[in-house]
């Protein structure tokens, strides 16, 4: 059963976490704009993390890998407006300095502070503004909503939520599908829980949840050098009842984490740059989960299918074309395609569905596409959005 998620929750909903944010002047000014945020725990934490697979990694990602050598940290500082990526040695020094500034403010070690930067690639951080911003920020136990706004770039709304499991809370926020000067769509997510969790279990559960949530969202095909998910949990050292795989609460924790990650991932798809509607592609009957995942992601990234979804065009030939190029094994006679709940293709040929009715259904906020390959137990779901002229406009603008 999927746990009930409170969409009003945030990274400070779990007791023991404080956050805050400010406008430091990294972005150009604008009403209500924030561009620097800090999230900190009142207690020592273990941290599980997943980072971008892009071989060019941002300075923030590199520094986080260093600081998480012991899987422990107590805070993260994040700026929007500049990704500090492809910036060489100077970029690395700036990211370390950003952590040091926050460590001094909080009275903890620099290695206990993690870093995030999102925005234009190939530009240096304005360190004077960051230093002034860090000292201006005040942290509060209800500061989650400020933090979740400070990490936004062209997101049209903050993305957050919280869920209860047993006596504990898991909260989180993320940003994505957005940029300050149109640039890399960067995905950053921060999750917090007051539950004491054994670090190996925390890491394994985060990886599994991310694989079925954030890793199944696509706005385009461009992987950011900055993608980061951080999950802070209370350090179980000296705590009674630490959560691990054998705990009575393990299954409930797993479900809460999956619900949280899926909620945030769908929020990203729903806010895809320039988008007007969301796509949800479900694949069943694949020979393996890997084939199902690959096909589901290809369906949400096809230029032609995304354009058809934008136009509410029930042009299912674009779905069969994606199935055919996905590399998945199948017998054409076993394949079925459903678009907004209507069967459009089966037994190797078109059905006589009503195109006008399906087109009308495609004008809803969510367009479900279901493909069954009839070839095995592999299933997967992926989320994306339509491709719009507005996406091109947003990303054709001049960076300078």
Residue numbers annotated as active site: 186
Sign of CA dihedral 290, 292, 295, 296: negative
Binding flags for a second copy, 262-301, as an x/- string (CB under 8 A): ---------------------------------------x
**Site membership for a second copy, residue 388 (CB under 8 A):** yes
Q: Footprint of a second copy on residues 240-259 (CB under 8 A)?
A: none
3-state secondary structure of 235: coil
Triad 309, 310, 312: Cα angle to 5°: 60
Per-position DSSP letters for 313-351, written without gaps between them: ---THHHHHHHHHS-----GGG-EEEETTEEEEETTEE-
**Residue in 290, 360, 364, 392 binding a second copy, rule: CB under 8 A:** 392
Q: Footprint of a second copy on residues 86-125 (CB under 8 A)?
A: 86-91, 120-123
| Residue 117 host element (H or E) | strand 113-120
Q: Footprint of a second copy on residues 296-325 (CB under 8 A)?
A: 301-305, 307-308, 310-318, 320-325
164 vs 169: CA distance, rounded Å: 4
**Residue in 183, 192, 262, 375 binding a second copy, rule: CB under 8 A:** 183
Which CB sits closer to a second copy, 10 or 226?
226
Closest approach, Cβ 265 to a second copy, in A, equals 19
**Site membership for a second copy, residue 66 (CB under 8 A):** no
Cα-to-chain-centroid distance, residue 257: 13
Q: Tell me the number of residues near a second copy by CB under 8 A.
A: 75
Cα–Cα distances (Å) from 376 to 275, 283, 299, in that order, read 34, 11, 19
**Residue in 182, 236, 285, 384 binding a second copy, rule: CB under 8 A:** 182
**Site membership for a second copy, residue 28 (CB under 8 A):** no
**Site membership for a second copy, residue 224 (CB under 8 A):** yes
| Residue 146 host element (H or E) | helix 144-150
216 DSSP 8-state letter: G
**Residue in 141, 237, 332, 377 binding a second copy, rule: CB under 8 A:** 332
Which CB sits closer to a second copy, 64 or 326?
326
């Amino acid at each position: 059963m999927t746990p009930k998620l409170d969409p009003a929750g945030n990274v400070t909903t779990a007791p023991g976490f404080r956050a805050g944010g400010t406008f430091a002047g990294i972005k150009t000014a604008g009403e209500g704009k924030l561009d620097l945020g800090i999230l900190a725990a009142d207690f020592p934490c273990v941290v599980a993390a997943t980072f971008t697979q892009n071989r060019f990694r941002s300075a923030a990602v590199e520094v986080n890998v260093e600081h998480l050598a012991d899987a422990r940290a107590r805070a993260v500082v994040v700026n929007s407006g500049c990704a500090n990526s492809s910036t060489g040695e100077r970029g690395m020094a700036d990211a370390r300095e950003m952590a040091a500034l926050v460590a001094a403010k909080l009275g903890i070690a620099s290695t206990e502070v993690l870093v995030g930067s999102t925005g234009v690639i190939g530009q240096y951080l304005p360190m004077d503004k960051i230093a002034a911003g860090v000292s201006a920020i005040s942290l509060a136990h209800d500061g989650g909503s400020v933090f979740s706004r400070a990490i936004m770039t062209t997101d049209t709304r903050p993305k957050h939520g919280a869920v209860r499991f047993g006596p504990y809370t898991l909260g989180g926020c993320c940003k994505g599908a957005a940029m300050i000067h149109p640039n890399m769509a960067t995905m950053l997510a921060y999750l917090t829980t007051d539950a004491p969790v054994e670090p190996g279990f925390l890491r394994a559960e985060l990886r599994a949840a991310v694989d079925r949530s954030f890793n199944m969202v696509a706005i385009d095909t461009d992987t950011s050098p900055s993608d980061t998910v951080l999950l802070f949990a209370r350090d179980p050292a000296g705590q009674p009842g630490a959560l691990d795989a054998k705990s009575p609460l393990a299954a409930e924790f797993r479900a809460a984490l999956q619900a949280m990650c899926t909620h945030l991932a769908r929020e990203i798809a729903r806010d895809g740059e320039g988008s007007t509607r969301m796509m949800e592609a479900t694949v069943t009957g694949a020979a393996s989960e890997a084939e199902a995942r690959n096909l589901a992601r290809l369906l949400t990234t096809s230029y032609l299918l995304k354009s058809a979804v934008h136009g509410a065009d029930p042009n299912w030939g674009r779905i069969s074309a994606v199935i055919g190029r996905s590399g998945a094994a199948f017998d054409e006679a076993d394949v079925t395609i459903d678009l907004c709940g209507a069967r459009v293709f089966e037994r190797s040929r078109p059905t006589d569905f009503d195109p006008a009715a399906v087109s009308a259904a495609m004008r809803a906020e969510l367009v479900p596409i279901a493909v069954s390959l009839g070839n095995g137990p592999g299933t997967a779901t992926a989320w994306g959005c339509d491709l719009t002229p507005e996406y091109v406009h947003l990303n054709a603008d001049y960076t300078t």
